[in-house]
Every structure is written in C-alpha cells, then in structure tokens.
Structure 1
Amino acid sequence: MDGGRVVVIGGGLAGISAALACSDAGRQVTLIESRNHLGGRVSSVKHPRQDWQLDNCQHACFRVYDRFLQLMGRAKAQQSIKLQANTNLPFALPQKKAFSALTTGRLSPPNHMMGSMLAFPFLSLRDKLAMRKAVKSLSSMNDLQMWELDDILFVDWLRKNGQTERAIERFWGFFVLAALNINIQEASAAQACMLFKNGLFGEADAFDVGAFTSDLSQSIEPALSSALEKAGVEIIRNSTVKGIEINDDCFTSVMMQDNKIQCSDVILATPHHITNRILQHSISASNEKHSQQLKSKIEKVCTDIAQMEYRSLIGIHSFYRGNRVPKDFTFAAMIDQPLIQMIFNRNSELDHPIEEGVQWISVPVSAADPYLKMSDEEILEQLDTVLDQLWPENKDIKRFEHLIVKTPKATIATTPGSAKLRPLSSVLGSNIAIAGCWTRTNWPSTMEGAVRSGLNAAAHILDIQWNSDKPWQQWPLRPKRGDEEWPIW
C-alpha cells in the first residue's frame, strides 16, 4: 500500500467500481478485461440476423440498489435508467386473464404495501393473515440472527412461521426466484430473509423498479468507460491474465500471456471459477516465493470456491410488427407459470425502439437449469400460450423474429451453507483484494452485490474503514423519489 499502481483484473461492475474508487483516491490504476467490452455479465449480444444489440437477459434495478445507483451517478449515467415514482409490481394470472399489482401506500414500512396486499386477488384472506407472522419475524430480526439461518431452507423457515403453501408459491417464491435466481425450495433462509427485510419490507421506496433506457451495453458501457478514462484509469481490453506473481507474500506483478505488469496492489474481480484458476496458477508459478501460511489461505479460498454452484438464466426475446401486448403495458409477473415467469414490454423502457414499428417482448427465466435443453420452438410455444391467454385480441399479430440467450453460469446459487463459502475481500493479505458479486457482501449475486464487492475491495486496498451499508463518500448519493436528474418510468 505504498501509493503505487493498482491493477484491477476484470472489467465487470465489480472491477469498474474498484478501479474508479481507487483512482478517485489518487492511485494509478490499470484495468484489465479479457473481452473487448466492459460490463461483465451486464451486457448485450448482437442478433445474428438483425442489426440489433439485445440484452443477454432482461435486467432491472431497484431504488434499494444504493451503491449501483451511486456508481451510475458517478459516471453521469442518470439518463440510462428510468425509475418508478412509486413502487408498482404488477402480477397476472394468465389462465383467468386477471391482473393486479402490489403498490406502496401511506402506511410506514413494513406495512407500506398492506392496502394493495389486502386487495391482491391471487391470495386468500387466510394466506394474507398468515403473512403477518413472517413479516413481524423479519422486522424484528437483526443481522446476526439473520445469518444464523444460512444453514436452513427458507421454505422451512416460512412453514415454521405459519405460511400457507399458496403464499409460499405465489408470493414468497416469486420474489426469491426473481431476485436470487434460485428456486425457493433450495434457497438459503438467511439470503432470502435479507431480500425481504432490506428490500420489499424495507424503506418505502426500496422496490421502486428501474428500467434501462437502451440495450444493456449501451446503457452502461459508454458512460462507465468515459468515467474511467476521465479518471485516468488505463484500460487494457482483449487481454487474458494467467496469474499473479508472488514474492515474499506480496503480489507484485500480473502475468499476462506475453508480458507482466508490475504493481503495488491487485484487485481480482473475476467470476469465481476464473478467480480459482488465476489463484491456482499464481501458487504453482511462484516457485515457493511465499509462506506456507499464504499458500494455505489461497488453498482454502480455492477449496471453498470449488464448492460454490452456479444457476443459469435464459433471456427470451420476441419481436412483432405491431403491439402484441398493449402499448401501455410495462411488465408483469406471471402467476403459476414455471417457464414464462415475467413478461416485459421492452418498448416501454427504451428511449427509442430498436426499429420503428417493432415491439420487443422480453422474458427473463430465472433458475433456468431445467430448461437449458429445450428448443427455441418449445420455449416460444409456451410464450405464445401465455400471450394468447392474456391478450387474445392481439393473436393476429405474429412474431417475425426472436432470439433466445442461454447463460449456464449466470449467478452463484445461494443454497444453505453457501454464505460461509463466500470470501471476504481482504482474506488473502494487505496488497490483494478479491471482488465479485459472489464474495461476502451479504447481498445476492446482483448488480448491487457486484458494486458493493468492488468498493469493499477498494476500501481494503486504500486501507480505509467503510461499511457497505453506508454511501461511498466521494460519489453522489442514490436518487430519492422526486430527484429530477433521474427520468421517471
């Protein structure tokens, strides 16, 4: 920590956040990315038959994404996101062509959605009355009590707290699936409790939804790249890191394919399977220039990483000449639909349609592992069935194009016991930090978790005390309702 060069490996949100924070603090920073674009998994793909850039999967943010929104504010990317003025979470039951929504009212949290919940037609009065016990337990739970639940299933905790099977399936299960990318039947109680305590039943504006105003890469990469360059960060793209050279327990240079970059500090901000590979190579290539203690630390991290599981995502994109869903429809969660879990009218989010007269329907499929082997035709048939049930009057508007993007290694699986496998940023020593949405941020594998991890890593390298639940001091605060710099959705 002598004030020399910091090398950040990985150009996703974690690496970008770490690089900006270190540069803002006056450090020289080099950011290395293996691909030709920044953003990591928050990125777009080119349609193979059309001149379109499409999200790899539908993404949304929430106002509770404090550090992510701080990052976007730091990059002056406010126009890239539209935020709801008030929470509005629509649901639909296709079989009955029924719609409803959970919205914020005048009561204080955790009761701010009580009015719309009482009117919610997809749960019975018995289901709703039983929910009071779980909400009360969540509200009174402190962080220590919450993380003591990591070894048990959330569904078991819900049943212990009197929840009905219908409420588990239609309410609790939906939010776990959408936010944690895991089926409620295998989700850690600790991580799920964190989601509801800090999110849905947290501050009244926490679940205001944010939508990206263009495709993902266009929404984030130009602004973030510009912010990095203006901050003086050197960006090296299309370069693969093999390992990190270790001398006397210090990480002294980053080993590329054909050269080395000398450094004072390293931030390793890559997906966990790549982090595992880089650390393993670093140990084997260092020719015993490290202590047994450091070797044991690295081996422990690698052993834990090897036990971490992934869950997949599928992004379904379907295109129509005309309005297959009503023009003013934004999105809705689908009740009792295992594959077509949500439907988004991407046109309602975009500043400009991808092509004049074309409507873009986007469907994110969470915990998609059971569907990875399905053909496009099988997937689209299920989408058509749901669209026909909800909007039969528009059946004559046919799809003319589609793209289905499957991402097998999308996010970590927050199963029981997974929290203890997630390493702290500082676990390996004073001049190296680990970052990534899979590290121990207490957040799930989300954009917010990624940014928090990057700032945790920067705080370690800069040797400053920082609580990730507090704002990063040098960056703009996340927007409150009514902030005129951020567009309204």
Structure 2
Amino acid sequence: MSSQSRVVVIGGGIAGCSSALALAGRGVNVTLLEASNRLGGRYGSVKIPGLERQIDRTQNVFFRNFERFLQLLATCESRESVKLQKSTMLAFLEVDRGRISKIEAGSLPPPNHLSASFLNANFLGLGDKFSMQKAVQTIQATNEQQRRELDDLSFLQWLEDNSQSKRSISRFWNPISKLALNLDCSEASASSAIFLFKKALLGNASAFDVGCFTNDFTNAVSSNLRRTLADSDVEVHLSTPVTSLFRDSGVVTGVNTKNGFHAATVVIICTPISDTARLLTGSSASMASHEVAERLAKLGNTSQIGIHAFHEGPVLPEGIPFVICCDEPLIQMLFDRSGELDDGKRSGLPGHWICCPVSYADKYQEWDDELIKTEYQRVIEIAFPESPPLIDFHVVRINRFATAMRTGSQRDRPNPLDAGEGVILGGDWINIDWPSSLEASTRAGLVAAATYLRENRVRDFSDWKHDEKWPDWPNSAKKEDEDWRIWE
C-alpha cells in the first residue's frame, strides 16, 4: 500500500468505527466521517427533555456469542463497562398470573443444555415441550445449504410445518426471534431465524449469556471508541454529513461533504440503508451502484420503540434482571436498567428505571405516549400488583432500527464489492447472515476492512472469515476469562 493512499470511512457507528480501527491497526491512513456530533450510530445515547441526564434510546442487548463486538470492547478498553451472565438465564413472565418461569443452562451438552429447566417451566404445556424438542433437533440437523434454501419461507410457516403449537410459537419462538430479528415470525425469513437459533440458543451452552452496559452507551463505549480512534491516528470528523460520492470516469475517488472535499483511494460505506442508497445513485453512478441501491431499497428497515419507566422502587423480583412477557404484543420485555448500572452511574434518574424495548414496532409508531403508558401500567398492575408507583415515563421512537430480514431478503444483501470500483460496502446489511445487532455491525465493518486489505494483498487476510478472531485485537469474553465482569 502506498503511504499516500487514504481510505475514507463514511459512518461513525459500530461498523464504521470497527472498520477504521481495523485498518489503522494495519498502518492504513483512515479518515472517518460522521454526520452527527457523536459516535455510536443508532446505539448512541440521547438527551430526553425532562431528564437530567442522557440515556440510551432503548435497551442495548448483546450476548456472549457476540465475539467480534466483545473483541472491539476489549480493544477500546471497555471491559469494565459491561457485565455478562455467569450462565444463560431467560425469565418468562405470564402476565395474567404474575408467574415467572426461568429457563437456565444445565449440565447437558448443547442443544439439550436447556432441556431440564424447560421441562419444569410453567409457561408451556407438556405437549408444547415435546414438539419443541423435535423442532430443536430438526434445526440442529439442518445444514447450511438446507438453511439457505429456506429463505423464501416464513419462520411461522416453518414452525407450523414442524408441528409447533400456537402457544409455543406465541410464548417462545416468536418472542426470541422478534428480539433478535426485529420482525414477527410471520414475516421473518426461516433461514435467518434458524441461523439465529443455531448460533445462539443451541450453539453452545454459553452462547446466549446476556450482557448489559453499566452506563449509558455513549459513556460506556462511544467515548472509549473516540479515544482509541485518536490513539490509532484515525482522522475523525464529526458533524460532517457526506452529500455525495465524487466519481472520476465512473470510479469513486473521494467524497463531498458540507465542509469540503475528501480524496480517497477507497470509500467504505457504513451508513444506514436509505443513506447508502442515496450515495450510490445519481447521474454519474455506475449500473452496479444503482443495482445495489435497488436491492437495499427492497430490504428496508423495521422500527423499534424504547419505553423508559421510572418507579419509586424496584419492580422486578430480586434476582430477576429482566423478563420476557408472554402474549403481550407491545410490552414485550422488562429490563431492570437501574440494577444494571454501576453505583454512581444512576445520578440524574428520577426513579428506579425499567426499560422496555419494543421490537418490530412499526404499527405502534403512531400511538401517542399516553396510550403506550396505559398499556405499560396495565401489564405492571396485573403482573406486579405491589409494585412501587410510577413517577415518570418517556417513549423514544427509532424509525430505522434494523435491516428487515423478511422472506427472500438473503438475495438482496449485497457483497462488499458489489457497488463498483472505489467503493466497499460495510453496513450491517451486507451479506454476512447475521441480523442487525452490535455483532452484525462489528462483523460488517471488519469484513469491509478485510476486503480492502485482501484487495491490497496484505498477508493474513486472503482467507480471513468473520467467524474467526480479528487477529490484531484481544480475545472475546470466554467463560473462564476473569477480565470480564459477571452480571449477578
């Protein structure tokens, strides 16, 4: 690589930061351009009128199998800002009964490590459990080619074809897939859902250990990202939206921003779908670039809502950090966010914080805050009649939260080099199988970086795959690793 070459990365979210750090670690000159005044993208924190401090838009969830994201945290010295469950525990709340069933990892090897607690769970019937065990075996036996051939089938249809009851679908399969895919199983690709279950719940005994942030995302992660980028000599420009790509004879050789022009050997695009499609079109754009924009438009996004409720005291029972609410379309999960925060990180909150992330929230975007509040209070009053009074309530709407992994979506996810010469694609919507998440964003950014390094014949990257450790970064959080904190 020439010392004069420079890569411009568009987008300062997790994908863009991952790509920039990975390239800088290999001696590449990198400029990172971010339209907003902070790093972190859709995961970043916001200031809400009426609150003294910034909070995250919604509950930012990650798991132990988010290996590349955990590598990124270690690289940015953010281990102290997160905690991980010692072992997998999922709590399912039957709202009408106020009864909680805990699904916990046992001593059996995967995929049977959850079997014992499932047999004792009250939220499902015995027939549900036996049919679910058969579905688990079918998922485990599905190879990659067979899985990909299921992309045109909805996950709901696959579940019904595999004799899953309405109760097991509404109380287990749909809540888990909705959490991860941000889609109802009636619309989600069976291929994407099966990928999720194989990688997470059924992959290994610790894969689905849930993680939490001990501060708001900006203070827990984004500030450390900014420092690490500076230490790596990445040139960062905030509040610098890119207005267009500059093309010379059809080849992208730079970007235009509201503040001026940035020349580039290669431009890596790590922006949301609509922003990417805008940059890839125009009179001077190549046919390949236009085709990618059309595919991205077909993919589209789904939305999420973050409900933030503040009570006079704790709502969830002691030892239960979060619950999945059975048969509740709006109030899907309850997280004890105050319990996740470190001592000293709760200042400025009006009360004990419960965060309720609403996945696939498209049909609730038009609901006013009072209607959402009424639904929240109904669930709390039925499930936890002795809960402390609600003293403050806020709703945050996120319109473009996740790439829509609907049926047939796999064919529309582009590869990094599909947009033509001078451009590498690196958003979490590229063809890496993973659904939109902190992990997908990190992997996509690394795939874009590896593509650049491979094109420039840098050793170690001719065969690198994103399931492999990024060679320049510390290890992710293994079960026995004492450098990572335990979420008790």
- TM-score of the two chains, using structure 1 as the length reference: 0.95
Q: Say yes or no: does 1:362 pair with 2:358.
A: no
Query: What's the secondary structure of 1:132's corresponding residue?
Result: helix
In structure 1, what is the equivalent of residue 308 of structure 2?
A: 317
Q: Say yes or no: does 1:471 pair with 2:469.
A: yes
Query: What's the secondary structure of 1:27's corresponding residue?
Result: coil
1:324 Cα deviation after fit:
3.7
Please tell me the residue identity of whatever aligns with 1:435.
G
Question: Mean alpha-carbon deviation: is it higher for 28-37 or for 355-364?
Answer: 355-364
Distance 1:209 1:191 in 2: 20
Q: Cα–Cα, structure 1 residues 130 and 329, in superposed 2: closer, same or farther, change >3 Å?
A: closer
Report how many residues are paired. 477
**C-alpha deviations, 1:176-204, integer Å up to 9, x for none?**
11111001111100000001011110011
In structure 2, what is the equivalent of residue 173 of structure 1?
A: 174
1:112 Cα deviation after fit:
0.7
Please tell me the residue identity of whatever aligns with 1:392.
P
Q: Cα–Cα, structure 1 residues 245 and 355, in superposed 2: closer, same or farther, change >3 Å?
A: closer
In structure 1, what is the equivalent of residue 104 of structure 2?
A: 103
Please tell me the residue identity of whatever aligns with 2:13.
G
In structure 1, what is the equivalent of residue 212 of structure 2?
A: 211
Q: Cα–Cα, structure 1 residues 379 and 356, in superposed 2: closer, same or farther, change >3 Å?
A: closer
In structure 1, what is the equivalent of residue 322 of structure 2?
A: 331
Q: Cα–Cα, structure 1 residues 78 and 210, in superposed 2: closer, same or farther, change >3 Å?
A: same
Distance 1:372 1:384 in 2: 19
In structure 1, what is the equivalent of residue 400 of structure 2?
A: 409
1:393 Cα deviation after fit:
1.8
Question: Mean alpha-carbon deviation: is it higher for 471-480 or for 250-259?
Answer: 250-259
Distance 2:318 2:101 in 1: 18
Contact 2:244–2:279 (CA under 8 A) maintained in structure 1:
yes
1:2 Cα deviation after fit:
4.1
Q: Say yes or no: does 1:488 pair with 2:486.
A: yes
Distance 2:235 2:390 in 1: 44
Q: Cα–Cα, structure 1 residues 428 and 309, in superposed 2: closer, same or farther, change >3 Å?
A: closer
Runs of 5+ unmatched residues, structure 2: 455-460
1:435 Cα deviation after fit:
1.1
Equivalent runs, 1:37-56 vs 2, <5 Å: 37-56=38-57
Q: Cα–Cα, structure 1 residues 353 and 21, in superposed 2: closer, same or farther, change >3 Å?
A: same
In structure 1, what is the equivalent of residue 449 of structure 2?
A: 458
**C-alpha deviations, 1:134-181, integer Å up to 9, x for none?**
111111122221111111111111111221221111111111111110
In structure 1, what is the equivalent of residue 144 of structure 2?
A: 143
In structure 1, what is the equivalent of residue 458 of structure 2?
A: none
Query: What's the secondary structure of 2:255's corresponding residue?
Result: strand
Q: Cα–Cα, structure 1 residues 454 and 186, in superposed 2: closer, same or farther, change >3 Å?
A: same
Distance 2:475 2:141 in 1: 27
Quick one: which of 329, 342, 348 aligns to 2:339? 348
Q: Say yes or no: does 1:438 pair with 2:429.
A: yes
In structure 1, what is the equivalent of residue 90 of structure 2?
A: 89
**C-alpha deviations, 1:446-484, integer Å up to 9, x for none?**
111111110010011111332111111111111111322
Equivalent runs, 1:179-190 vs 2, <5 Å: 179-190=180-191
Distance 1:195 1:206 in 2: 11
Query: What's the secondary structure of 2:146's corresponding residue?
Result: helix
Contact 2:44–2:218 (CA under 8 A) maintained in structure 1:
yes
Query: What's the secondary structure of 1:152's corresponding residue?
Result: coil
Distance 2:41 2:357 in 1: 18
- TM-score of the two chains, using structure 2 as the length reference: 0.95
Distance 1:357 1:403 in 2: 11
Query: What's the secondary structure of 1:185's corresponding residue?
Result: coil
Query: What's the secondary structure of 1:485's corresponding residue?
Result: coil
Distance 1:309 1:363 in 2: 24
Structure 1 residue runs of 4 or more that deviate by more than 4 Å after TM superposition? none
**C-alpha deviations, 1:104-147, integer Å up to 9, x for none?**
01111111111111111111111111112211111112222111
Runs of 5+ unmatched residues, structure 1: 287-293
Query: What's the secondary structure of 2:168's corresponding residue?
Result: helix
Please tell me the residue identity of whatever aligns with 1:472.
W
Query: What's the secondary structure of 1:11's corresponding residue?
Result: coil
Distance 1:357 1:32 in 2: 36
Q: Say yes or no: does 1:278 pair with 2:279.
A: yes
In structure 2, what is the equivalent of residue 423 of structure 1?
A: 414
In structure 2, what is the equivalent of residue 303 of structure 1?
A: 294
Identity of aligned residues (%): 39
1:357 Cα deviation after fit:
7.9
Distance 1:12 1:324 in 2: 33
Contact 2:52–2:349 (CA under 8 A) maintained in structure 1:
no
Cα RMSD over matched residues?
Answer: 1.5
Distance 2:255 2:44 in 1: 26
Contact 1:17–1:455 (CA under 8 A) maintained in structure 2:
yes
